[in-house]
């Protein structure tokens, strides 16, 4: 088997997506290792998950830096020092700065709880419920300088019912998030993902 892919994970909160990646690695489904968890939130439950799995964790807060550039340059430096090859945004609730994107072009993946380009930004699930769509879902995409605008890697759809609340829809979408995020990382680790303009091509998956 080839060398495991080195990941750096950024998370702001609960970290259930972070956990799904840990679980995929531990079960052998994903040939990767997590070099570091970085959070902007000292109260993030993701920190406890990292401790439990002996993953190094850093709390890096924007308020300790003069500006966004300095903040993301510092994060990029910490990731670089640890040999991180792919950056994973697992519920990282900030718009990532240029300094990090330029260091990791098409090497930062984000999970978003809606079918992009619908309902970008915060509260994708609530936006879907409020709009009254019948189908929503989640998207794994590469990160560019826009808000949830980068090339789409994988999407999964779920039904939206008339009596759904933000909570019930979030739960249904989350189950799919936990499936497709590790899957997208696995495809990347296997060298099967390439990007042409806005399009992501997955080798060995139909019509290529």
Instruction: Kindly list the residues in this chain that would bind ligand GAR in the complex (CB under 6 A).
Output: 11, 13-17, 90-91, 111-113, 124, 174, 177
141 assigned to active site:
no
* Residue that has been written with the tokens 């679980």 in this structure: 23
User: Which of 53, 74, 112, 162 is an active site residue?
Assistant: 112
Under 8 Å between Cβ of 99 and 76: yes
CB closer to ligand GAR, 11 vs 38: 11
- Collapsed DSSP state (helix, strand, coil) of residue 191: coil
CB closer to ligand GAR, 94 vs 98: 94
118 contact partners, CB below 8 Å, separation of at least 6: 127, 128, 133, 136
CB closer to ligand GAR, 76 vs 137: 137
Q: Closest separation between CB of residue 31 and ligand GAR, Å?
A: 22
Under 8 Å between Cβ of 86 and 7: yes
The β-bridge relationship of strands 152-159 and 193-196 is unpaired
Angle among Cα 201, 107, 31 to the nearest 5 degrees reads: 80
- Collapsed DSSP state (helix, strand, coil) of residue 74: helix
Angle among Cα 97, 102, 108 to the nearest 5 degrees reads: 75
Q: CA torsion angle for 179, 10, 108, 32 (degrees, to 10)? A: -60
CB closer to ligand GAR, 120 vs 190: 120
CB closer to ligand GAR, 131 vs 191: 131
CA–CA dist 145, 105 (Å, integer): 10
The H or E element spanning position 158 is strand 152-159
Q: Closest separation between CB of residue 153 and ligand GAR, Å?
A: 14
List residues with catalytic annotation. Answer: 112
């Amino acid at each position: 088997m080839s060398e495991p892919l080195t990941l750096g994970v950024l998370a702001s909160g609960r970290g259930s997506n972070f956990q799904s990646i840990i679980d995929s690695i531990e079960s052998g489904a994903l040939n990767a290792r997590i070099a570091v968890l970085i959070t902007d939130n000292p109260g993030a439950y993701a920190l406890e998950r990292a401790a439990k799995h002996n993953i190094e964790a850093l709390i890096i807060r924007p308020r300790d830096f003069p500006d966004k550039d300095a903040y993301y340059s510092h994060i990029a430096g910490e990731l670089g020092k640890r040999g991180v090859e792919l950056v994973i945004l697992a519920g990282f609730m900030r718009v990532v700065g240029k300094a990090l994107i330029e260091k990791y072009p098409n090497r930062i993946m984000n999970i978003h709880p809606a079918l992009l380009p619908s309902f970008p930004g915060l509260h994708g699930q609530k936006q879907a419920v409020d709009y009254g769509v019948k189908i929503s879902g989640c998207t794994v995409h590469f990160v560019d300088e826009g808000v949830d605008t980068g090339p789409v890697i994988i999407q999964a759809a779920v039904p939206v019912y008339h009596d759904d609340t933000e909570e019930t829809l979030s739960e249904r979408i989350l189950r799919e998030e936990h499936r497709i995020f590790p899957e997208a990382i696995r495809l990347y680790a296997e060298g099967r993902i390439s990007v042409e303009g806005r399009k992501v091509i997955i080798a060995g998956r139909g019509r290529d």
